[in-house]
């Protein structure tokens, strides 16, 4: 595989375009890794592929000069690329944020990894694979997201803090209210006042961890629970 200046420039330009398009979509979503990051990852992977080709070409040239070197020099065009695919995982890990039971950044981490794969493909001169791969990635990020939001329900963990008067069966009523609104109560954490036992408490202070479908608007549903005269206050923590 012979490399000339024209081929190298074409591959660099294509890497910038492909990485930029995918990075722009992430930038619009206000993700940690955006426009420039995706371009740099794609360019870096392209450089590695070009470097691997150049090393291979030089090895072949040396073998042609001295046939005995064929027993010593081995050409593996995939070795450096494999290290890129592994190494880019560390960058992707930096894009993943885990807070209060929620994980964000998985899609961005995946796009960083797949952009690196595209960069390797571009560097190897596989233009059809690279271009069609980029098109499919953009379709997945932009158009399939709309389908996912409309038809696929995601369960989200939320915490609701409620303080209410100690009335018989009121806790059961609150749990039933959650269930009637398609919310599953996962954990109830009771907060006791200092120097008072559970039986001496006049009011109940609890944090409800609930699982809600993505389509349910919790803010509006909480307003309905506020109308109960025995509820002192209620607020959403996360």
- On the CB side of 124, CA atoms within 13 Å amount to 15
pLDDT bucket at 119, cuts 50 / 70 / 90: very high
Residues 98 and 201 in one domain: no
Segment among 56-60, 168-172, 200-204 with least mean pLDDT: 200-204
Using the 3D structure, point to which of 98, 127, 151 is the last residue of a domain: 151
Residues 39 and 136 in one domain: yes
Question: What is 141-173 written as a DSSP string?
Answer: HHHHHHHHHHH---EEEEEEEEEEE--TTHHHH
What is the CATH classification number for the domain harbouring 221?
3.30.70.260
Residues 73 and 186 in one domain: no
**Is 74 exposed, middle or buried, given 0-12, 13-18 or 19+ CB atoms closer than 10 A?**
exposed
Work out whether the CA dihedral 12, 36, 42, 25 comes out positive or negative: negative
pLDDT for 223 beyond 60:
yes
pLDDT at 150: 66
pLDDT, averaged across the chain: 80
* 194 CB neighbour count, 10 Å cutoff: 4
* 172 CB neighbour count, 10 Å cutoff: 9
Residues 146 and 194 in one domain: no
For 158-169, write each residue's pLDDT tens digit.
788 888 877 777
Residues 136 and 197 in one domain: no
Which structural domain, as residue segments, surrounds residue 62? 5-151
Helix ranges restricted to H, 29-169: 35-65, 79-95, 106-123, 127-151
Using the 3D structure, point to which of 131, 151, 171 is the last residue of a domain: 151
Residues 214 and 110 in one domain: no
Segment among 73-82, 90-99, 125-134, 218-227 with least mean pLDDT: 90-99
pLDDT bucket at 90, cuts 50 / 70 / 90: confident
pLDDT for 234 beyond 60:
yes
Residues 108 and 84 in one domain: yes
Number of domain units in the chain: 2
Structure tokens that stand for 83 in this block: 């290290």
Residues 27 and 121 in one domain: yes
Under a CB-based contact definition with an 8 Å cutoff, are residues 88 and 73 in contact?
Answer: no
- On the CB side of 160, CA atoms within 13 Å amount to 25
For 45-73, write each residue's pLDDT tens digit.
999 999 998 888 888 788 788 877 777 67
Using the 3D structure, point to which of 151, 174, 198 is the last residue of a domain: 151
pLDDT at 13: 95
Residues 53 and 164 in one domain: no
Residues 142 and 196 in one domain: no
pLDDT at 137: 92
Residues 108 and 222 in one domain: no
Residues 30 and 147 in one domain: yes
pLDDT at 195: 60
pLDDT for 100 beyond 60:
no
């Amino acid at each position: 595989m012979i490399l000339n200046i024209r081929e190298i420039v074409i591959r660099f330009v294509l890497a910038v375009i492909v990485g930029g398009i995918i990075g722009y979509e992430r930038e619009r979503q206000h993700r940690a890794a955006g426009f420039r990051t995706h371009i740099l990852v794609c360019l870096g992977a392209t450089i590695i592929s070009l470097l691997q080709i150049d090393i291979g070409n030089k090895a072949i040239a040396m073998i042609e000069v001295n046939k005995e070197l064929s027993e010593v020099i081995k050409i593996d065009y995939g070795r450096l690329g494999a290290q890129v695919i592994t190494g880019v995982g560390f960058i992707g890990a930096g894009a993943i944020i885990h807070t209060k039971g929620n994980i964000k950044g998985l899609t961005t981490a995946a796009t960083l990894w797949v952009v690196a794969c595209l960069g390797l493909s571009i560097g190897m001169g596989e233009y059809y694979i690279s271009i069609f791969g980029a098109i499919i990635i953009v379709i997945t990020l932009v158009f399939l997201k709309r389908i996912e939001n409309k038809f696929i329900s995601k369960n989200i963990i939320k915490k609701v803090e409620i303080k209410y008067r100690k009335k018989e069966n009121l806790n059961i009523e609150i749990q039933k209210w959650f269930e009637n609104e398609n919310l599953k109560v996962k954990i109830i954490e009771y907060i006791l006042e200092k120097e008072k036992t559970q039986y001496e408490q006049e009011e109940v202070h609890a944090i409800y961890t609930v699982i809600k479908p993505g389509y349910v608007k919790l803010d509006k549903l909480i307003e309905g629970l506020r109308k109960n005269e025995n509820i002192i206050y209620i607020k959403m923590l996360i």
